[in-house]
Amino acid sequence: MGEISEKITYLRERLEYYGKKYYVDDEPEISDAEYDRMFYELKALEDEHPEFYDPNSPTVRIGGKALDKFEKIVHSFPLKSLADVFSYDEVKAFCERMSKYGEMEYSVESKIDGLSVAVRYENGLLVYGATRGDGLVGENVTANLKTIQSLPLKIPYKGTLELRGEVFMPRESFEALNAEREANEEQPFANPRNAAAGSLRQLDSKITASRKLDVFMFNLQYCDKSFETHTDTLEFMSKQGFNVLPCRYTASSAEQIIECIEKIGGMRNSLFYDIDGVVIKVNSLEMRGIIGENTNTPKWAIAYKFPPEQKETTLIDITVQVGRTGVLTPTAELEPVRLAGTTVSRATLHNIDFIREKNIRIGDRVIVQKAGDIIPEIVSAKGTPGLLSFEMPKFCPSCNYPTIKDDESATRCTNIACPAQLMRNLIHFASKDAMDIDGMGPAVVRLLREQGLVNGVADIYALKADQLEGLERMGKKSAENLINAIEESKGRGLARLLYALGIRQVGEKAAQTISSVYPDIDMLFDATPEQLCEIDDVGEITARYITEFFSHESTRETVESLKKAGVLTTSVKVALENNLFEGKTFVLTGKLPDMTRDEAEELIKKHGGKTSGSVSRKTDYVLAGEDAGSKLTKARELDIAVIDQEEFLRMIGKDQAF
């Protein structure tokens, strides 16, 4: 047993060493095949001898047992955000404020576009890692962080050490992940940051391991060893084996800082990871203590955010797709160009008015950027002479039915039986936020349509297991599971059904509000636009769309078929705990620390209140979380009470969310 223990220890030490040389130092010393041989030899020994288990063994990087939920961790030191600036004038103003404290040296660093985490080490071992959360309380994602190869599980320093880092997804990993998702007909991630955030918060760490995340450390939160400058702490972290923030410089004036910003910005396209700005920090740790901090941000640091990156490319073609509400959407087919971390080859053109306003023509050179670094859009066109103007098709490209241009600048197919609309309607009907039919994604819907098994939403409830068993990728167990999911969806209630039916401008929130006023779907067949306008979240246009929808004979036929199939077409009653919020209307905005919006809405309804999607003078409370937007601004303008999660829970007599 002593020999086995020594062998396991030797393999762990060697793998840690070779892993650091490969993932951190970029100086591999052995081949991948030799590393894999040692890794699987160690794994086999650990499996045979669980008495030698070590939570920091290199083998934990492949992921372990899935969790039920994430535990909460209170950060020892708050993970504050930085004040953003967007111009060099603001950078100069910051330096001028700092100059009041004397001559100053700054650390100028690339701002990684990822998500912030804190990691803690004691006696040389990783104790835990947590997400930023709200800055005070985060989620324990230790098991997932251990799958990141560049994060050391053991370090030479034996004291207490707490660091802050940025987890990100390298561009190569992001492109591979999205290619895989598209092959599986899953929704691709919008950008590497979203992909990294979703990957780090997986309950199954094996999924996280497969996503190949990385991490850069950028701040020393705590160490029982003293340092003079921030630069000293970065060098110390590097010596401990951490992948320390690259692209960093020191500067002593605003002019030098701007030079560094230009230099880092010039590297942006050549890096293997995304950056969205530059962080400027006072380098002296003693001086930081003198300058002090605001409530949520330090006074001694700012983040300069890059303007949206723009590239010129050629508009090859304009294609038109039919959406589930019949709207024809023109899409620009572009010569592929690298933009804000991804390769862009398509961009939405919205409608014909947008195309005319920008003078967009096939064959022209166009300027492309990503709105919010996420959605590709065309900013302008060169205006090359001799190119033909684009016109929207007069007949639907899916069913060849005549199209019309409505009062919203949209070109629309007038055929409610249009195959393109039907396909998207079925996908929407079965989606998670609608009827939530697990296992009935786009691929399955397409298969059912091709086989002629489903020609409308009501047909879903007539499906039998034996009809499905012989279909491609659909065995007996899968067929039974889908039929069970369809059966379960029958009891979702009227609000979910209204949203699932795809009525124009009726989203989840409006559907809930409508179902509270008209608790039986039959009542909506007789409702007038004037009556519907009296409902919160329903304006004149939405009211007209609702009455138009319920005026069609096909709608009545569909509803009757759903009723016969046993689908609940009345509102689901929420069991009240009390009437604390009776007559009170809440609007939710931003991300709450410990609960989803759906969970918060459920609590509001259980206490007799109701929710709305927009802020008005009828609103009593705005429940705001992190990154709250325009709703919070409007609430302040109207002097409406704004509460956070903690205050909300205190109002209902709870210490924690769930």
Active site residues: 111
The token pair that represents 8 in the structure block: 């396991």
Contact 293, 299 (CB under 8 A): yes
- DSSP code per residue over 435-461: T--TT--HHHHHHHHHTTS-SSGGGGG
For residue 465, what are its two tokens? 């297991």
- Among the listed residues 562, 512, 574, 565, the one whose alpha carbon sits nearest the alpha carbon of residue 538: 512
Q: Which of 114, 211, 224 is nearest to 164 (CA)?
A: 114
Q: What is the dihedral of CA 358, 363, 365, 371, to 10 degrees?
A: 50
Kindly give the residue spans of alpha helices, DSSP state H, lying in 338-389.
352-357
Give the pairing type, strands 106-112 and 275-282: antiparallel
32-48 helix and 2-23 helix, angle to the nearest 10 degrees: 140
Type of residue numbered 603: L
End-to-end alpha-carbon separation of the chain, Å?
A: 47
Which residue in this structure is represented by tokens 């279909």? 471
Cβ proximity of 569 and 556 under 8 Å = no
Nearest Cα neighbor of 107 from 303, 279, 292, 302 is 279
Torsional sign, CA 47, 53, 55, 57:
negative
> 13 Cβ partners below 8 Å, 6+ apart?
none
Query: Which 3 state secondary structure label does DSSP give 147?
Result: coil
Which of 83, 308, 284, 274 is CA-nearest to residue 196? 274
Tell me which residue of 341, 349, 272 sits closest to 306, measured CA to CA. 341
Angle at 161 between CA 159 and CA 162, to 5 degrees: 165
Task: Give the distance from CA 256 to its chain's centroid.
Answer: 36
**Cβ(165)–Cβ(217) under 8 Å?**
yes
Q: What are phi and psi of 480, to 5 degrees?
A: -65, -40
Residue 182 CA to residue 150 CA, distance in Å, equals 28
